[in-house]
Amino acid sequence: MMKPSSPTAPGTASSAIAAIALGAIVAFCGTMWHASIWYLSQTVYIPWGTLLALLMTCLATIWLCLHTQRTWTGGLMGVTIFAIITYFAFGRARDQSVLVLMNTDLPIGVAGTLWGLGSLFCVTLGIIIAAKSHARNRAKVARD
């Protein structure tokens, strides 16, 4: 019985382009979603948009690393995401027009801080999960 041929990994250049493009998409969508907050009272709130953005970040990292079979692409995607979030938070501050407010005094600032710093954590977590999955698959192929 023949084994199905395994798809080949994309080349280095296309992997880098995919990482940067996916990072930009995740950064823009996450920035748009992170401001969605469910207010239960004046002091109790759930930044559900931030949680959704962070979940998307982790899942996109896992998909990218597994699809390209290169863990460095997750890192490149993370750098792209963080660079865009940093620009949104501080790059336009002189115009008083920030898209990501990083100030823990306000609920939207808490959501912005979680989005900015949580994206780094989620990218790291996604890379670790993808690397373990890739190692498990290689060990399984080696046994067969």
Rounded-to-integer distance, Cα 30 and Cα 34, Å = 6
Segment holding 44, helix H or strand E: none
Q: How confident is the model at residue 6 (pLDDT cuts 50, 70, 90)?
A: low
CA proximity to 57, closest of 85, 87, 32, 23: 23
Q: Residues 8-66: pLDDT tens digits?
A: 778 999 999 999 999 999 999 999 999 999 999 988 999 999 999 999 999 999 999 99
Residue 82 has pLDDT above 70, yes or no: yes
The domain locations on the chain are 51-144
- Taking a C-beta distance cutoff of 8 angstroms, is the pair 73, 16 a contact? yes
Rounded-to-integer distance, Cα 112 and Cα 108, Å = 6
pLDDT of residue 143: 80
Q: Residues 92-143: pLDDT tens digits?
A: 767 777 788 888 888 899 999 999 999 999 999 999 999 999 888 888 888 8
